[in-house]
Amino acid sequence: MSAEATDPGAPPRKRSRPRIDLRRLGRVAVLGPVARDRLPDAIGHVAEAHRAHHPDADLSVLHKAYVLAESSHRGQTRKSGEPYITHPLAVTLILAELGAETTTLTASLLHDTVEDTEVTLDQVRERFGDEVAYLVDGVTKLEKVDYGAAAEPETFRKMLVATGNDVRVMSIKLADRLHNMRTLGVMRPEKQARIAKVTRDVLIPLAERLGVQALKTELEDLVFAILHPAEYEGTRALIAAAGGGRDPLAEIAEAVGTTLREAGIGAEVLIRPRHFVSVHRVRGKRGDLRGTDFGRLLVLVGEDADCYAVLGELHTCFTPVVSEFKDFIAAPKFNLYQSLHTAVVGPEGAVAEVLIRTHRMHKVAEAGVVALGNPYAHDGGAPAQAEPADGERADPTRPGWLSRLLTWQESATDPDTFWTTLRDDLAQNREITVFGPDGTTLPLPAGASCVDAAYARYGEAAHGCIGAHVNGRLVTLSTVLNDGDTVRPLLAQDASSGPSPQWLDHARTPAARIAIAGWLETHPDGAPGSPGSSPAGPGRRGRPPEGPAAGHPRGPGRAVGVRVDIPGAPVRLAGCCTPVPPDAITGFAVRGGAVTVHRRECAAVSRMREVSRAAVGARWDDAADRDGAADFRVTLVAESFGRPRLLADLTEAIATADAAIVSATVEPPSEQRVRHTYTVQLPDAARLPGLMRAMRDVPGVYDVSRAQRPAPTG
């Protein structure tokens, strides 16, 4: 994992500890043995940083690992001319400053030995145990001689799979990449750009998802300097210019500290400078920068309750900017981050952003999963292999996004597909949680649809999904889910069903996209049972025809079975709502003196009344009905999921109910749903409820209703 010389233009680290002179350490590392009663000076800085977080740590194993690393790398140099041992020392120091435990530091010292020296993995295992060997193997790159152009994506696949069992693998990789980025200056510009792009697309999103903000922010600045040098220099100049005069944040910080002391709240108020990329983003958002835009206030307290006490005092004693308030304590981010965010107006009108968190929250916000220490210690130090009994999110080192990644990568056998999909997946940096009907949780990326939920829950069985219930309502598969939704995907009974190409437009998760694309590739002509195929040909879009064929019995004359309050007036039943007994009805006079009869709940009735059209009394002629002189037409709309033979089954149900089909239309399928509109003629209006029940009982039909189409008002 070679990396190169120090870049004098790289931004300084934001930690209080001064940067170590690695050239001096390199010389110390090769000077020979030291007294047995003390650590070599080269590892002393690591030990000091480690003891600051772990006072009782056993440093003997670090000494042992350093001796092996120094002796195995002896004679090797980096492209800058420094002894190679300076690289594992620097990586280990980064992790020690973040609070990593002893096992991680041991593996970090040894992380390049198997890859770049004669030391074997078995030797590491024999001297340091299975746990250290697992971490070293996890970050060891695959050989290009064996994998060719696929070596880089397959190395990342190997690291991610190892991270699924032990998240400390990725912690070491991130620290390794940070030191390599710090020392990239002697590389050719094109190689710098290539490494920076991979860092931007893969490593920085992984650092964000693992919550290691201290590494993520510095990586962002280093990538920014390489890929956007002009913007970087402009931002550097802005920050330098802002540092010369009066600091409005310092004044607000002093006022905040005074307010909290007077309220009896023990708190530490700090000014937290923004890093280069953050300043650049704020400038792009706001244009001209204010003096307070170059940093934020950080308020650290002892307990969770104190966070809300601080918030109450700030919002009482200062004018809050309500739109800036966010509570990430009650609802932590998916990367373990917790804080209260707010903004207040200072004494002279300056607006300052404020972060409020406990000291423990601050440690996790900076170091993420590294701050968890050794999450596997309760298992005797072995990497965890089994899924937790109460769901994968119970283990903060195996969050939902990582489990999803490990699942879909198994299907992405082609390295190019894996590499492209990995970048797309990591670009989705927000997450939601939806629930199954039984209360189980399903973490998904923001913007995920019911398609994604179906594949996340059922795997390849979701090929037969025909819809979903979201919060108790039937919805289409394209419906975008929100945080907290309850989702129940509906699967077709036909095992031969498969997805349609349109599903790819709605799928956000790699697992769904890979599964859909794989099915479509193996079924280029679709499948007979595909819910995306039309059950009855292309059909004909539009409304059923007006006139006698659309629900106007016996032509334009008097409608048999209806009496109106205008004697002798021609009567017709409205085609928009096709009333039948015992519907409550009303009439309206139209051109030519005829009366059109509607159901009272018809939308046309409301429109008539809005324009002050006088209603005409209308009622069913019971005597005509009893004499059997009337037959009735009604228009019904059947909503269904597409499947083979649906049209045949519906027409058979209608015929069995002793109804005659006057006209029918089938609209082209849309998102696996099909709308059938039938105008049927019934010998007896009392048979209508039974007909509608029979149609609803047809498999795939989820609703049958009376037509409510717009009608001319005359």
Distance between CA 142 and CA 700 in Å, rounded? Answer: 51
Return the number of other C-beta atoms located less than 10 Å from residue 113's C-beta.
Answer: 23
Is the Cβ–Cβ distance between 589 and 561 less than 8 Å?
no
Structure tokens at 470: 């979201």
Of 97, 67, 80, 50, the residue nearest 180 (C-alpha): 80
Is the Cβ–Cβ distance between 335 and 210 less than 8 Å?
yes
Of 361, 325, 336, the residue nearest 431 (C-alpha): 336
Structure tokens at 239: 């920050």
Residues 6+ apart with CB under 8 A from 314: 256, 259, 320, 342, 344, 354
Rounded to 5°, angle at Cα 490 from 489 and 492: 140
Rounded to whole angstroms, what are the CA distances from 529 to 465, 495, 526? 11, 8, 8
Helix axes 151-165, 415-426, angle to 10 degrees: 60
Distance between CA 201 and CA 629 in Å, rounded? Answer: 77
- String of DSSP letters for 113-124: HHHHSS--HHHH
Task: Strand 595-599: give its sheet, edge to edge.
Answer: 571-573, 595-599, 585-589, 615-616
Distance between CA 423 and CA 200 in Å, rounded? Answer: 10
| Residue 116 a catalytic site member | yes
Is the Cβ–Cβ distance between 498 and 517 less than 8 Å?
no
Rounded to whole angstroms, what are the CA distances from 425 to 167, 401, 404, 417, 592? 18, 9, 10, 12, 66
Distance between CA 347 and CA 324 in Å, rounded? Answer: 18
Structure tokens at 474: 């039937």
Distance between CA 259 and CA 251 in Å, rounded? Answer: 12
The catalytic residue among 82, 101, 112, 116 is: 116
563: enclosing H helix or E strand: strand 562-564
Is the Cβ–Cβ distance between 508 and 447 less than 8 Å?
yes
Of 84, 113, 97, 704, the residue nearest 367 (C-alpha): 97
255: enclosing H helix or E strand: helix 248-262
Structure tokens at 476: 């289409």
| Residue 583 a catalytic site member | no
Structure tokens at 108: 């970090």
Distance between CA 30 and CA 1 in Å, rounded? Answer: 20
Question: Tokens 């079924």 — which residue?
Answer: 523
Three-state secondary structure string covering 621-685: CHHHHHCCCCCEEEEEEEEEECCCCHHHHHHHHHHHCCCEEEEEEECCCECCEEEEEEEEEECCH
- Across 372-449, where does the E strand assignment appear? 431-435, 441-445
The catalytic residue among 7, 41, 48, 115 is: 115
Three-state secondary structure string covering 331-369: CCCCCCCCCEEEEEECCCCCEEEEEEEEHHHHHHHHHHH
Residues 6+ apart with CB under 8 A from 9: 225
Active site residues: 115-116
